[in-house]
Amino acid sequence: MSDAQGQPLLRIGFWRNMRHSKQSTIVGGISVLAVAGLISKVVGVLYKIPLARLIGPTGMGIYHQVFPTYNLLLTISSAGIPVAISRLVAESLARDDRQQAKSVFRQALKLLTILGLIGTILLFLISPALSNMKGTSSALWAYYMIAPSLLLVCMMSALRGYMQGKRRMAPTAISQLIEQVGKVLIAMPLSFVFMKDGDFAMGAAGAMLGTSIAELLALIYMSVDYFLNREQNEPIPNATHNVSLTKKIVAISIPITLGACIVPIAAEIDSFMLVRLMSAYLPENIALIHYGTYTGIVFPLINIPTAFAMAVAANMVPNISAALEKKDSKGIDRASNTGLRLSSLIGMPASIGMSLLARPIVFLLFGGQQYSSVELEKAAQLLEVSSLTIFLFIHVQTTSGILQGLRKQRIPMYTLIFGVVLKVLLNYTLVRVPGINIHGAPFASLLCYFASLVPNLYFIRKIGEVRFDWMGLLVKPLIACVPMGLAVVFVQRLFQNALSWTALGLSVVAGVALYFVTAYFIRLIQKEDLPKRWRKN
């Protein structure tokens, strides 16, 4: 679940100019991470298409059985501490205490390096048992190949948290792009080399090794950026406060980590649960193919717009934290509503548009020898429902970021636990029914995120005293989606629902154009959202 960019930026002049750039605005910071995340996710989907054709649904089933375990260990190792770094650094800089900000980073880097090393060793040790428990012993080498990434990403997370706390979002964005492009340029060739005599499991292992190498390249980039952008008179961290500072970082990060673990735990439960439930009435290989179709086609597609969620959440924490440190209630209200409005601006059309275009998207992107027309049709039906989780997921991430900035990091943890419990119960109820099978999983996810979002909004209103702009959150996005939806349906019918790139392209262009024109005229898009050169004086 991470991503990457390129190399013209590796010029000394660029780095020195970046050192003197102003702090990014909320919209600007979100835009940098969102654009990079969106590019990364698109590259990720494009990468998964040839990968799926190369290693097939069986290989993708193995690939997506390994990733939940990796993501869970990665989340345990690194999810909370970068948020804690971002928050504590933002608070320190709001007090103009640069020495404390540097101390936070140094201590967090030590913690993350230790945790990453432990995670890597642990994954190596438990891989044989995990492979057997999941009924796919051939996945062993895939576990081994991805294990080093835990250490690499943990170390990189410290650098990202520090820079985000300083409101420097560009390095994180560029490193994400390096990760993803690295996967394409390295993982695909390695997957091809590893897949001898049609061994799909070794093909998946090659892809995992490519991912580890891509993470190493991203870490090298972040390290270079850090050293080139250090202040000339950099403050020396105060070593006498290391123990108390470590305790503070841990105290903040534990509930955030536990909350962040909930979704990977749910994915890990799915990897155990869905195949086994379907195996009660389907042959095991068919159940694995259904699971591989769901995770190999639907997940990458709905993850494209959710890159925006990570961008908003990453910006909410330092901005809300700094406003809270200054006791700026208006700043908290303004930042919260800006984040939520932008989440709706992107999330709602993404959900509705992808649902309307599910069939042509799936068939055009994933049609090939490895997926049968029956499996593609199943994936399209799953995407029609699953795409609706985009709107909810983006808002869950945004509200979690707001609550973390308000120093109430336990609340998102509890609300996600509640949502995931409901998801597991609904999965067990629906997926075990032969007539529903894998189609029950998207409905369970919808319930999970809705059940998490509602209490998050309640506590933001109560604790942050935020007055929600419901017109900007719900009404205006829905109004703007009406002409978009009509345009998509009209173009599709004009082409008689033909599965062609022309029809899909025109549908997307017409829908997006009408949506943003409508959004601008009803003032869902505000003046400060636009680049300065586009604003009227």
pLDDT at 460: 92
The set of residues, in sequence order, having a beta carbon less than 8 Å from that of 347 and lying 6+ positions away, is: 305, 308, 309, 390, 391, 393, 394, 395, 477
What is the average per-residue pLDDT within 94-101?
79
pLDDT at 310: 66
pLDDT at 171: 85
pLDDT above 90 (res 518): yes
Tens digit of each residue's pLDDT (9 = 90 or more) over 283-306:
877 887 888 788 878 887 887 777
Q: Bin 236: left if φ > 0, else alpha if -120 < ψ < 50, else beta.
A: beta
How buried is residue 489: exposed, middle or buried, by Cβ count under 10 Å (0-12/13-18/19+)? Answer: middle
How buried is residue 374: exposed, middle or buried, by Cβ count under 10 Å (0-12/13-18/19+)? Answer: exposed
Lowest pLDDT segment from 107-116, 184-193, 362-371: 362-371
Whether 29 and 169 have beta carbons less than 8 Å apart is answered as: yes
Tens digit of each residue's pLDDT (9 = 90 or more) over 205-215:
888 898 899 88
Tens digit of each residue's pLDDT (9 = 90 or more) over 53-89:
777 777 777 777 787 777 767 766 666 777 778 778 8
pLDDT at 483: 94
In sign, the C-alpha dihedral spanning 106, 112, 118, 121 is negative
In sign, the C-alpha dihedral spanning 510, 37, 299, 142 is positive
* 489 band by pLDDT with thresholds 50, 70 and 90: very high
Question: Bridge partners of 77?
Answer: none
What is the average per-residue pLDDT within 176-184?
82
pLDDT at 109: 87
Q: Tell me the one-letter amino acid at 403.
A: L
* 25 band by pLDDT with thresholds 50, 70 and 90: low
List b or e across 265-287, with b for residues whose CB sees 16 or more CB atoms inside 10 angstroms: bbbbbbbebbbbbbeeebeeeeb
Tens digit of each residue's pLDDT (9 = 90 or more) over 214-265:
889 999 999 998 888 876 556 665 555 566 777 777 777 777 777 666 666 7
pLDDT at 237: 59
CA dist 257 and 477 (Å) reads 32
Whether 363 and 504 have beta carbons less than 8 Å apart is answered as: no
pLDDT above 70 (res 177): yes
Q: Is 489 helix (H, G, I), strand (E, B) or coil?
A: helix
How many Å separate Cα 535 from the centre of its chain?
A: 31
CA atoms within 13 A on the CB side of 140: 7
Q: Tell me the one-letter amino acid at 15.
A: W
pLDDT at 216: 92
Q: Assign 3-class secondary structure to 336-359.
A: HHHHHHHHHHHHHHHHHHHHHCHH
DSSP state, residue 504: H
pTM: 0.71
Q: Which residue has the tokens 């996967």?
A: 183
| Largest pairwise CA distance in the chain | 72
Whether 430 and 443 have beta carbons less than 8 Å apart is answered as: yes
pLDDT above 50 (res 384): yes
pLDDT at 454: 94
pLDDT above 50 (res 399): yes
pLDDT above 60 (res 389): yes
The set of residues, in sequence order, having a beta carbon less than 8 Å from that of 279 and lying 6+ positions away, is: 287
List b or e across 318-349, with b for residues whose CB sees 16 or more CB atoms inside 10 angstroms: bbbbbbbbeeeeebbbebbbbbbbbbbbbbbb
pLDDT at 142: 85
pLDDT at 24: 42
Of the two residues 321 and 346, the one the predictor is more confident about is 346
pLDDT above 80 (res 123): yes
Of the two residues 493 and 201, the one the predictor is more confident about is 493
Of the two residues 398 and 315, the one the predictor is more confident about is 398
pLDDT at 296: 77
pLDDT at 318: 73
pLDDT at 277: 85
pLDDT above 60 (res 488): yes
Domain extents in the chain: 22-468, 478-537
pLDDT above 60 (res 531): no
Element (H, E) at 296: none
Which ranges of 166-306 does DSSP label H, i.e. alpha helix? 170-182, 188-194, 200-228, 242-279, 284-293, 299-303
Tens digit of each residue's pLDDT (9 = 90 or more) over 405-432:
888 878 988 898 899 889 889 988 888 8
